[in-house]
Amino acid sequence: MIMIPAAGGTMQPAVGLIANPASGKDIRRLIAHGSVFDNNEKANIIRRVLQALDAFGVKQVLAMPDLYGLVLRALEDTQVGLRVEFVNISVTNTAADSRLAAAVMAQAGVRCIVTVGGDGTNRVVAQGCGDVPLVPISTGTNNVFPSLVESTLAGMAAAAVACDVEPVWDRAVRQARRLEIVRGNTLVETALVDVVVYDERFVATRAIWDADKMRALFLTAPYRGTIGASAIAAYLPQAEEVARDAAGLYVELGPGGTHVMAPIAPGLIVPVSVRVVHPLELEQTIPVTYAPSILALDGEREVPVPPGTSVGVRLSSHGPYVVDVQAALQAAVKAGFFIRKP
């Protein structure tokens, strides 16, 4: 682990950076029309983040190492004064890297973590980052949690958070909810946006695209204008109504319900039959007894529920802290953060 040297007794404003080299290449390019996000573009995104952090006073960046050397690539063609160091983890090129890197960064005292990836990337980062806020930058069209934001702006927002500009934290950082998968009393997994009970047994290519196999849907919040499984509720008037007084939603799917035309993947708009929309309260656990099945977390098949077993899905308030980029920029403008003496 790399410790950030405390300069003059106080910590230098440092930012974490986690870029997932694997995102943006899954089967949604084949079964739907998902955008292709290549790693050169990801390196480009990282360059823009680094430039913004550098321009606004961030001195240190702690980055996750990866086999593809995304951040190293970005650095090759960038002139920045800030220091980039890599957290000392052994790279496995799996999601575990992101989780561990986030934990190490949080321990080292970074003020926020910029993530470059999709819902899946943020899901595992959130499992490691503790209460360090995330600045999620989306690398694709299939995401709900990270926003498709210009990374220069995300970098500027991250700088404002890292430099502790007065009202930024209050105005722009909120704690998200999460969905927890429990077996008995054991927490086995978490999701940030949605959990789908899917009538399949295997993780395979992870994505889910057959609406007829979706048996139930859990949502952390009434997301609006989204894509993916959460879209099933997003375009349904009943869901909007139930969501008004609820922390989350539990939606039963199956034949005989209301048909909503939902964009469950980019360009893939299909009718989904919604039977009942229930409110989901904080700390409420709903048992999933539909087995065999597999739970898709934030759009990726992840937790098999083999025959004869069951799991519970619980809505919790212990999600990650998240920076709203636009709100952070506005607050930073008010504080004069972007003004320099000529």
Partner 1 sequence: MALSRETLLGLYEMMVKIRTFEERVAEIYYEGKQPVFNIAAGPVPGEMHLYSGQEAVAAGVCAHLRPDDPVTSTHRPHGHLIAKGVDLKRMMAEIFGKETGLCHGKGGHMHLFDPELHFGCGGIVGGGIPHAVGAALAIKKRGEDRVAVSFFGEGAANIGAFHESLNLAALWKLPAVFIVEDNLYAISVPKTASTAVRSNAERGAAYGIPAVQVDGQDVVAVYEAAGEAVERARRGEGPTLIEAVCYRFRGHFEGDPEHYLPEGTKEQWKQRDPIALLAKQLKDQGWLTDEDAQAIEERMTALIAEAEAFARESAYPPPEAALTDVFVQAESPREEQSHG
CB 179 within 8 A of CB 190: yes
- Determine, following the binding rule CB under 8 A, whether residue 304 of this chain makes contact with partner 1: yes
CB 57 within 8 A of CB 163: yes
Q: Provide, rounded to whole angstroms, the least separation between the CB of residue 234 and partner 1.
A: 26
Find the part of the chain contacting partner 1 (CB under 8 A) among 45-53, 68-76, 187-195, 224-232.
Answer: 68-76
- Determine, following the binding rule CB under 8 A, whether residue 300 of this chain makes contact with partner 1: no
| Radius of gyration from C-alpha coordinates of the chain | 20
- Determine, following the binding rule CB under 8 A, whether residue 318 of this chain makes contact with partner 1: no
Enumerate residues 6+ apart whose C-beta is below 8 A from 92.
Answer: none
CA distance 45 to 56: 17
CA distance 326 to 337: 14
Q: Which of 2, 6, 7, 40 binds partner 1 (CB under 8 A)?
A: 40
Q: Provide, rounded to whole angstroms, the least separation between the CB of residue 271 and partner 1.
A: 21
Q: Which of 4, 13, 14, 21 binds partner 1 (CB under 8 A)?
A: 21
Element holding 271 (H helix, E strand): strand 268-280
Residues 192-251 that bind partner 1 (CB under 8 A): 200-206
> Is the CB of 144 or the CB of 303 nearer to partner 1?
303
* Strand partners of residue 259: 273
> Is the CB of 94 or the CB of 317 nearer to partner 1?
94
CA distance 134 to 111: 9
Q: Provide, rounded to whole angstroms, the least separation between the CB of residue 189 and partner 1.
A: 16
- Determine, following the binding rule CB under 8 A, whether residue 25 of this chain makes contact with partner 1: yes
> Is the CB of 25 or the CB of 318 nearer to partner 1?
25
Q: Which of 57, 69, 109, 279 binds partner 1 (CB under 8 A)?
A: 69
Find the part of the chain contacting partner 1 (CB under 8 A) among 29-37, 105-113, 127-135, 151-159.
Answer: 29-37
Residues 80-119 that bind partner 1 (CB under 8 A): 92
CB 63 within 8 A of CB 84: yes
- Determine, following the binding rule CB under 8 A, whether residue 335 of this chain makes contact with partner 1: no
Find the part of the chain contacting partner 1 (CB under 8 A) among 154-162, 219-227, 278-286, 303-311.
Answer: 303-311
CA distance 180 to 191: 7
Side-chain-facing half-sphere of 220: CA atoms under 13 Å: 23
Q: Provide, rounded to whole angstroms, the least separation between the CB of residue 114 and partner 1.
A: 20
Burial class (CB in 10 A: 0-12, 13-18, 19+), 57: middle
* Strand partners of residue 7: 10
What would the DSSP string read from start to end of 116-131?
Answer: EE-HHHHHHHHTT-TT
CA distance 227 to 32: 12
> Is the CB of 54 or the CB of 119 nearer to partner 1?
119
Q: Provide, rounded to whole angstroms, the least separation between the CB of residue 27 and partner 1.
A: 5
Q: Which residues are near partner 1 by CB under 8 A? A: 21-22, 25-27, 29-31, 36, 38-40, 67-70, 92, 200-206, 292, 304, 306-307
